[in-house]
Amino acid sequence: MGRELIKVPYPVIVEGKYDKIRLSAVIEANIITTGGFSLFKDKEKIEYLKKMCDKRGAVVVFTDSDGAGLVIRNYLKNALGEGRKVYNLYTPRVEGKEKRKRIPSKEGILGVEGIDCDSLGSIFTAFLQRAGIENTETENMALERKTENKSRKIEKSRLYSDGLSGGEGSRGKRAALCRILGIPENISAGALIEAINLLGAADIYDKFVSDYVENQNSNYSS
């Protein structure tokens, strides 16, 4: 029997895809990667993070505990702006290197991807307890549950059937939809569905698909 995932109500920001893979084995949350220092030039991703923070009421920053991770934390603190709640969680400073790497990091300590699942679970369990989150449900989430029937969800399979995944021109269509939603154009199909549902944008999606089908040469794909 697999590990029971810890439900975290806030988006969790990590540095890279291997951090996300590791953390996905421990928590159930919207895990967003920064792409390392590329975040500094990615204004679209910052706007996306702001949207997610406003939607959920806060974000969790869980970058590595080395110097690079601290630089990214400080950048996020300023970029997200005052008035937005940011929770900072830290990994323990454990010496070593990740299995996939030939050499250790500059500071010789493990990043998020190298920390064992039990330790990661303890970090998030303690965080939820400190934050006073019972049943991992925030006020925002509780309100969303009350109106759940009014908030439709889009299934990932629809991206394929609607021509936004796996077909000719699908990337351009996804990028066009992302521009309308005000989120990064280069996110994956899975991340796009997650964003649509988190933002409650099912109606916007339907209108986009309808308009595109009616006008194959519309400006959406430009």
Q: How does residue 148 score in pLDDT terms, banded at 50, 70 and 90?
A: very low
What does the alpha-carbon distance between residue 131 and residue 116 come to, in Å, rounded to a whole number?
A: 23
What does the alpha-carbon distance between residue 120 and residue 46 come to, in Å, rounded to a whole number?
A: 26
pTM above 0.85, yes or no: no
Token pair 């400006």 is found at 219
HEC per residue, 72-106 = HHHHHHHHHCCCCCEEECCCCCCECCCCCCCCCCC
What does the alpha-carbon distance between residue 9 and residue 189 come to, in Å, rounded to a whole number?
A: 22
Q: How does residue 210 score in pLDDT terms, banded at 50, 70 and 90?
A: confident
Across 150-154, 203-207, 216-220, least confident range:
216-220
Report the chain's mean pLDDT, rounded to a whole number: 82
Instruction: Please name which of 102, 116, 114, 128 lies closest in space to residue 19, comparing C-alpha atoms.
Output: 114
Percent of the chain whose pLDDT exceeds 70: 85
Q: How does residue 149 score in pLDDT terms, banded at 50, 70 and 90?
A: very low
Cβ contact 112:64 at 8 Å: yes
What does the alpha-carbon distance between residue 86 and residue 141 come to, in Å, rounded to a whole number?
A: 17
pLDDT at 183 over 80: no
In single-letter form, the type of residue at position 90 comes to Y
Instruction: Please name which of 143, 141, 138, 118 lies closest in space to residue 128, comparing C-alpha atoms.
Output: 138
Instruction: Please name which of 11, 78, 91 lies closest in space to residue 40, comparing C-alpha atoms.
Output: 78
| Interaxial angle between packed helices 43-56 and 139-146, expressed in degrees from 0 to 180 and rounded to the nearest 10 | 80
pLDDT of residue 214: 62
Read out DSSP for 10-43? S-EEESSHHHHHHHHTTEES-EEE--GGGGGG-H
pLDDT at 117 over 80: yes
pLDDT of residue 136: 45
Cβ contact 178:192 at 8 Å: yes
Instruction: Please name which of 156, 173, 183, 155 lies closest in space to residue 213, comparing C-alpha atoms.
Output: 173
Rounded mean pLDDT, 164-169: 83
